[in-house]
Amino acid sequence: MTSPSLAAENAVTARPEPAGRSPGQLMWRRFRRDRAGVAAACVVAFFFLVALAAPLISWAYGKDPYTTYGLDEAGLLNEFGYPVAPNGGISGRFWFGIEPTLGRDVLTQLVHGIRTSLLIAAAATVLCVLTGIVVGVTAGYAGGRTDYFLGRFIDLLLAFPQQLSFVAFTPVVYALFVSPGKETPTYLRVITLIIVLWVLGWMGLARLLRGQVLSLREREFVEAAKVTGASPWRVITRELLPNLWTPILVQATLMLPALVTTEAGLSFIGVGIVEPTPDWGRMFANGAKFYESDITYIFFPGIAMILFVVAFNLLGDSVRDAFDPRTKR
């Protein structure tokens, strides 16, 4: 018969060892507890899913963003070009209504417009983040003349008024590839917008990372890695970058919605995506013409833009809090 003390000792020894959690696991655990962050992540994922599945949505819905249903079929638009049916022509056939004047389907225009804007903004964000990491970490780690010249180059680019520079430089880049008088192809407009947003959008992240690296390179773990003979590449990738993911991810989540609104603004004023390519900004431009007689048309892209920007900003705050629990909103 086993004594009570021996049974208790066996129970203690049989108890599993507590497993340690990595920083990534701790971050994920803290993030899951943030209901606002999880909800924002779901909204952001939904927008990206809509962007990726835009052709499939159009196929299942049975309409496309280019067909002028109001002009092709009588009874959809009145003599002034506005939808005959109330609320912008919303019906079982046109779920979000139809566009005034041309009578195109609003739902398919919106999902394809989201696809266009997110494609441009996501590509520009990736390029800005990569450039900001390379320039910022190089300037902060190398120091000396390298830091001085890169810092002055960043200051030079930051001196340009950003919004005015977007408007001024975009037509200049178009003119480098297309002769005057010829229409700029859509693919070239997309590439040009990505280039302009990239060239004028990476400096803030680079300056932030430079400051972070300047404070980290004097820390004990970096000095210890240097003493052991680690190469600069190993010091940067193994010691510095793991401590920079928080500002990188937070800045990326704040940069993408800012670039979405910038791209929409360029299309709104006519230097971005133009007809007939669906685009968020172009929908706002058309809605500004019709809002007095048909406010419904601008309602759906406006609500979608607000939800997207707010969700991405909340996601950025949640990611920051998950990485650094000492921060408080």
Query: What is the mean predicted confidence (pLDDT) over 171-191?
Result: 79
Dmax (CA) for the chain in angstroms is: 100
Q: Output the average pLDDT for the chain.
A: 83
Write out pLDDT tens, residues 125-175: 999 999 999 999 998 888 888 889 998 998 888 888 777 778 887 887 777
Q: Is the pLDDT of residue 12 over 90?
A: no
Write out pLDDT tens, residues 77-119: 888 888 888 888 888 888 888 888 888 899 999 999 999 999 9
Sole residue written with tokens 């990188």: 248
**Per-residue confidence (pLDDT) for residue 124, from 0 to 100:** 94
**Per-residue confidence (pLDDT) for residue 18, from 0 to 100:** 45
Sole residue written with tokens 């900004």: 281
Q: Is the pLDDT of residue 227 over 70?
A: yes
Q: Are 63 and 108 in contact (CB under 8 A)?
A: yes
In this structure, what DSSP letter does residue 61 have? H
C-alpha span between 317 and 329 (Å, rounded)? 8
Query: What is the mean predicted confidence (pLDDT) over 219-240?
Result: 82
Query: What is the mean predicted confidence (pLDDT) over 31-60?
Result: 89
Task: Report residue 98: phi and psi, to 5°.
Answer: -125, 160
Confidence at 45, pLDDT banded by 50, 70, 90: very high
Q: Give Cα separations from 305 to 120, 128, 300 (angstroms).
A: 15, 22, 9
Q: Count Cβ neighbours within 10 Å for each residue of 277-304 and write b for 16 or more, e otherwise.
A: bbbbbbbbbbbeebeeebebbbbbbbeb
Out of 50-54, 253-257, 268-272, which region has the weakest mean confidence (pLDDT)? 268-272
Q: Is the pLDDT of residue 234 over 80?
A: yes
**Per-residue confidence (pLDDT) for residue 47, from 0 to 100:** 92
Q: Give Cα separations from 5 to 10, 11, 232 (angstroms).
A: 9, 10, 57
Q: Is the pLDDT of residue 14 over 60?
A: no
Partners of residue 105 on adjacent β-strands: 98
Q: Is the pLDDT of residue 190 over 80?
A: yes
Q: How many CA atoms lie within 13 A of 59 on its CB side?
A: 4
